[in-house]
Amino acid sequence: MARLIISADGPERFTVWKEAFAKAAPDLTVCSWYAPETEVLPSDYVLVWQPEDEHYAALAQVKAILCTGAGVDHLLQHPDFPLHVPLVRMGGEQTAQLMADYVTWAAISLNRDARTWALQQQRHEWVYNSVARTTAETRIGIMGLGHLGGYVATHLARMGFQVAGWKRSRATLPDVQVYVGQEALPDFLSRTDILVNLLPSTPHTRDLVTLKFLENLPRGAGFINVGRGEHVVQQDLLQALNTGLLSGAVLDVVAPEPLPHESPLWDHPRITVTPHTASHASAYWQAKYIAQSITQLERGVTPALLCNPHTGY
Ligand code: NDP
């Protein structure tokens, strides 16, 4: 029987994980990395988020590492991460649904200028604002059409948005116009009223969103960042918002996290900040997905979200 050692979230949340796995996968043996009697064996699976430095040597010994996040850039960037050990990213239906809900909410918030409503309410002001675009008039552009981006794109298209996506390799998705590669980027951006970032953080995508990049969008476009804060040059984003190049931004991810108390992003009248929570699935759904991936690995089946350490996602 497979054994999963929980290192994610420190010793404090072990009880939560234990209960979640007891419900989602009663056959799986689960133990805590932090219990003194736990010895890490080559037949073990380990669940991680941000392991402590001294844990990396033991991670090199295990059968596979499973991450509670879909983005694994922080692991791959660690000098001691064992690249030879299979690494499985978080996924599953609930994670994708939550992300689709978040992006839908953010896109409609940008179209209705909900940030202005919130500020007006704080000041007890009753001022009408007119609507920039209806859903059907809005051209959404999603950077990254993978597990999450593909799901979000299909969901938004079903809701009546005009949806396009940008990725590295060719693909077809129902009712989604797919732009491929660097040379297609200017055309993709110039047809985009609301840009959604759902890229992984890799050497090719970090610092991608600069002022020059944003100048390709129609003036007054909106921006939703649910990828990583490192994708965006923050000063350039602020300049784009302050000059009207962008009309608003919804940021679930920032750099660094947590966002420092003194950051100008907090109080900016055109920015909504949320605490990296767009698709944080319940422990039960995460446990279900992790257990499913372990079953696949035990049967010699490659899990869909096995990370390729060479591409970084
Ligand atoms: P996937 O690996 O499934 O998809 C990544 C997509 O990005 C693919 O379509 C890939 O293209 C595309 N891509 C990668 N590099 C490039 C590039 N250089 N140029 C163009 N396209 C590129 O990832 P997920 O959908 O599972 O997750 C995406 C990211 O979302 C995560 O890495 C993480 O950073 C973020 N995330 C944020 C969360 C939050 O709560 N805010 C929660 C979960 C994830 P191709 O298919 O052609 O290879």
Which residues have any ligand 1 atom within 6 Å of their CB?
70-71, 144-149, 166-169, 198-202, 204-205, 226-228, 252-253, 276, 278-279, 313
pLDDT in tens, 39-54: 999 999 999 999 999 9
Give the residue, by CA position, lying nearest to ligand 1 atom 33.
Answer: 71
Question: Quick one: which atom of ligand 1 is closest to the CA of 69?
Answer: 43
Residues 112 and 80 in one domain: no
pLDDT bucket at 130, cuts 50 / 70 / 90:
confident
Over residues 176-188, the mean pLDDT reads 98
pLDDT at residue 2 above 90?
yes
Question: Quick one: which atom of ligand 1 is closest to the CA of 279?
Answer: 40
The answer to whether residue 137 is domain-embedded is: yes
Contacts of 9 (CB under 8 A, 6+ apart): 16, 17, 49, 68
277 and 252 in contact (C-beta within 8 Å)?
yes
Distance 138 CA to ligand 1 centre (A): 23
pLDDT in tens, 208-251: 999 999 999 999 999 999 999 999 999 999 999 999 999 999 99
Give the residue, by CA position, lying nearest to ligand 1 atom 20.
Answer: 167
pLDDT at residue 190 above 90?
yes
Residues in the chain: 313
Active site annotation includes 124: no
Residues 155 and 218 in one domain: yes
Q: What's the structural domain count of the chain?
A: 2
Helices and strands, counts by H and E, the chain: 10, 12
Average pLDDT, the chain: 97
Give the residue, by CA position, lying nearest to ligand 1 atom 12.
Answer: 144
Distance 200 CA to ligand 1 centre (A): 4
Residue ranges making up the domain that contains 50: 3-92+281-298
102 and 252 in contact (C-beta within 8 Å)?
yes
pLDDT in tens, 66-104: 999 999 999 999 999 999 999 999 999 999 999 999 999
Q: Mutate which of 168, 178, 306 to test ligand 1's pocket (most atoms within 8 Å of Cβ)? A: 168
Percent share of the chain, pLDDT over 70: 100
pLDDT at residue 131, rounded to an integer: 86
The answer to whether residue 312 is domain-embedded is: no
Given 238, 256, 273, the domain boundary residue is 273
pLDDT at residue 172 above 90?
yes
Which of 104, 154, 142, 153 has the alpha carbon at shortest distance from 227? 142
Distance 202 CA to ligand 1 centre (A): 9
Q: How many CB atoms lie within 10 A of CB 282?
A: 14
Contacts of 145 (CB under 8 A, 6+ apart): 153, 165, 166, 167, 171, 173, 176, 178, 198
Distance 143 CA to ligand 1 centre (A): 8
Check which CATH number belongs to the domain holding 20 and give it.
Answer: 3.40.50.720
Distance 145 CA to ligand 1 centre (A): 7
pLDDT at residue 220, rounded to an integer: 97
Residues 81 and 157 in one domain: no
The answer to whether residue 47 is domain-embedded is: yes
Angle, alpha carbons 167-110-148 (nearest 5°): 30
Within 13 Å of residue 13, how many CA atoms lie on the same side as its CB?
15
Residues 268 and 122 in one domain: yes
Phi, psi (deg, nearest 5) at residue 261: -55, -35
> Of these residues, 139, 231, 276, 280, which one is catalytic?
276
pLDDT at residue 1 above 90?
no
Contacts of 215 (CB under 8 A, 6+ apart): 245
Active site annotation includes 228: yes
pLDDT at residue 48, rounded to an integer: 97
pLDDT at residue 138, rounded to an integer: 98
Residues 84 and 105 in one domain: no
